[in-house]
Amino acid sequence: MPLSKKRIGIVCPYGWDTPGGVQSHVRDLAEYLIDEGHYVSVLAPAIDDENLPSYVTSAGRPISIPYNGAVARVLFGPIAFSRVRHWISQGNFDVLHLHEPAIPSISLLACWAAEGPLVGTFHAAAKRQKVSFAVIPFLEPVIEKLNARIAVSEAARETLTEHLDTDAIVVPNGIYASLYRDGKLDERWTGNTIGFIGRFEEPRKGLSVLIDALPAIITEIPDIKVFVAGPGDSEDALKEIQPALRSRFTFMGRISEEEKANFLASVGLYIAPNTGGESFGIILAEALAAGASVVASDIPAFDSLLGHGEYGTLFESENPQDLAVKVVALLKDSVARKEIAQRGKNYAQAFDWDVVADKIYDVYQMAMVGGNGVTLSSENRAWNKLLGRQG
Amino acid sequence: MKFILILFAFALAAWYLSYSATRLDRLHHRVETSWANLDGLLQRRAAIAIEIARSEISDPASAMLLTFAAHQAREASVRDRSQAETGLSGALGILLETSSHISGEIEKDLIRELRELTEKIKMAVAMHVDAVTRTQLVRKKWINRIFRLAGTAPEPVTYEFEGDVL
């Protein structure tokens, strides 16, 4: 890839210590770029300043606010802003990569404070909200400073076009495809089994849709079993399920990366019944890469990730009957199931970090043309001169 | 009291004007850099096209077509540029369609380089088009027109690429 080593600053808007799609994307990207020999510094909110990787700088403790149907741990305010400015002026960066600059957190602050080659990545895909009408006039002049915008999916790109009237280049989220390529079959999970990974307590992950679909599946496939992996209180979850169905469920808690690869390679079907709030579906890409046959709800992100049904089966979101029909059809036709899984596995290689990071770096290079590195913006400089502060 | 209010209003107006001017200046800068980037990539593409025309891949007819299109693209003025580049895209497109049965290492390298470049040009076009439309939009705002905040910066040229050819 690069002959010259660059200094790259990445801003992550969400708390570093809470698990989440954006955080893992930033972590993987930063580590990949460091391996390539670049200097990378990540600025992120963090609860625990002590145990951060060496490339992460804490911007302070995140604040929990409800956002987009979940609790987001973000950070803003004058202290955070001055830390962001300090980080930018000390970092001497060639390019600044801001994640989710349109949500109220440090990425937005950094976008406001910085000048020079700026790249923004938009992850979220949300329906148009009434509030955004009020917010856009403030947001627009800030967002338009970005030299290049990246959207992680067609859905995210559409959201961006709709909300902020600007286009973006689609670069998908990355996965380490090689980790999942050679998962081993584990007899615990093979057969007529359904796999589910995720924080099952969150309603938008859609476990309840799967639970509602189960009785209809049982009448056709009596020996069906469901394995649920992911953090959460399994006893509470079991109470929600009718007693007759409880024996079908196994809650496994968090599993390691290696177990995950084996799990995804072994299960009969991997189900993603998410009801919304998803912009990319990294777990689906991983499931595909591991060779799982996937059944997912037809929310925009999954629809575009699965090529409108080419690489996995789609069912109508929040419709348990439709889910049951699709599951039964696939479990009864193992030839079709293996075919679609094989297509998905080949296709998922395009999400490998080798491909994705190369593309992101191409965007960096384009943003850096004619630029002399990242500085604090002139507005801030004038402001500071007035107040007699040092930039 | 009145005096303070008027002073405050003036200060606010002055700040807003300076802010708007900075915003416009930044946008024009963005157009310039994204154009420099796109222009560089297009120049490289023209160079590759000429190299392909001279290589074993091309028959005399397509060699002529390519060389002609590449020179036209290189010499076109900014306003005619998109049309000339679309012409070159068309000529290269015909070539890429039939590129599956190309043998020879040098030729394969050329074709691969062209494909990679095409991907980059797509991104550069998207970036440039976005910068141009944004700038035109902000230039049209009344405050920027009345106070001539754009100064002598030339109106950015809309660049029309036929996406499917590239």
Measured between CA atoms, how close is B118 to chain A, in angstroms?
12
Domain that holds residue A298: 178-350
CATH code of the domain containing A359: 3.40.50.2000
Residue A295 pLDDT: 95
Asked whether residue A150 falls in the same domain as residue A292, the answer is: no
Say if B124 falls within a structural domain.
yes
Asked whether residue A210 falls in the same domain as residue A145, the answer is: no
What whole-number percentage of chain B has pLDDT above 90?
A: 8
User: Does A166 contact chain B (CB < 8 Å)?
Assistant: yes
User: Does A372 contact chain B (CB < 8 Å)?
Assistant: no
Say if B6 falls within a structural domain.
no
Residue A344 pLDDT: 93
Measured between CA atoms, how close is A148 to chain B, in angstroms?
6
Q: Is the pLDDT of residue B66 over 60?
A: yes
Q: For residues A11, A13, A18 and A20, what is the CA-based torsion angle, rounded to 10 degrees?
A: -90
Say if A198 falls within a structural domain.
yes
Asked whether residue A250 falls in the same domain as residue A197, the answer is: yes
CB contact under 8 A, A370 and B120: no
Say if A231 falls within a structural domain.
yes
Say if B46 falls within a structural domain.
yes
Work out the average pLDDT over A135-154. 85
Q: How far apart are CA A41 and CA A110, in angstroms?
A: 14
Asked whether residue A317 falls in the same domain as residue A367, the answer is: no
Asked whether residue A166 falls in the same domain as residue A18, the answer is: yes
**Mean of per-residue pLDDT scores for chain B:** 82
Q: Is the pLDDT of residue A383 over 60?
A: no
pLDDT, one tens digit per residue, over B21-49 is 888 888 988 898 888 898 899 899 899 88
CB contact under 8 A, B127 and A148: yes
Say if B158 falls within a structural domain.
no
Identify the residue with better confidence: B87 or A227. A227
Work out the average pLDDT over A124-148. 74
Write down the number of H helices and E strands in chain B. 5, 0
Residue B81 pLDDT: 81
Q: Coil, helix or strand for A40? A: strand
Confidence of residue A69 (pLDDT cuts 50, 70, 90): low
Say if B40 falls within a structural domain.
yes
Say if A188 falls within a structural domain.
yes
Asked whether residue A342 falls in the same domain as residue A363, the answer is: no
Residue B78 pLDDT: 75
Measured between CA atoms, how close is B29 to chain A, in angstroms?
10
Number of domains in chain B: 1
Asked whether residue A170 falls in the same domain as residue A76, the answer is: yes
Number of domains in chain A: 2
The amino acid sitting at A126 is A
The amino acid sitting at A237 is A
DSSP state of B155: P
Say if B45 falls within a structural domain.
yes
Residue A142 pLDDT: 87
Q: Is the pLDDT of residue A373 over 80?
A: yes
Asked whether residue A250 falls in the same domain as residue A273, the answer is: yes
User: Does B126 contact chain A (CB < 8 Å)?
Assistant: yes
CB contact under 8 A, A379 and B19: yes
Q: How far apart are CA A171 and CA A366, in angstroms?
A: 15
Q: How far apart are CA A373 and CA A39, in angstroms?
A: 14
Asked whether residue A135 falls in the same domain as residue A35, the answer is: yes
> A2-16, A286-300, A366-380: lowest mean pLDDT where?
A366-380
**Mean of per-residue pLDDT scores for chain A:** 87
Q: Is the pLDDT of residue A32 over 90?
A: yes
Say if A119 falls within a structural domain.
yes
> Which of A141, A147, A149 has its CB closest to that of B23?
A141
Q: Are A274 and A291 in contact (CB under 8 A)?
A: no
Work out the average pLDDT over A98-118. 91
Domain that holds residue B37: 24-146
Interface test with B, best of A94, A136, A144 (most B CBs within 10 A): A144
Residue A117 pLDDT: 92
pTM for the whole structure: 0.83
Q: Is the pLDDT of residue B165 over 60?
A: no
Token pair, residue A125, equals: 């895909």
Q: Are A117 and A96 in contact (CB under 8 A)?
A: yes
> A148-157, A307-316, B54-63, B93-102: lowest mean pLDDT where?
B93-102
CATH code of the domain containing B134: 1.20.1440
Work out the average pLDDT over A126-148. 74
Residue B75 pLDDT: 85
Asked whether residue A339 falls in the same domain as residue A196, the answer is: yes
Work out the average pLDDT over A19-44. 92
Say if A2 falls within a structural domain.
no
Confidence of residue B126 (pLDDT cuts 50, 70, 90): confident
Confidence of residue A387 (pLDDT cuts 50, 70, 90): low
Work out the average pLDDT over B110-124. 87
Work out the average pLDDT over A115-133. 76
Residue of A nearest to B129 (CA): A167
Say if A191 falls within a structural domain.
yes
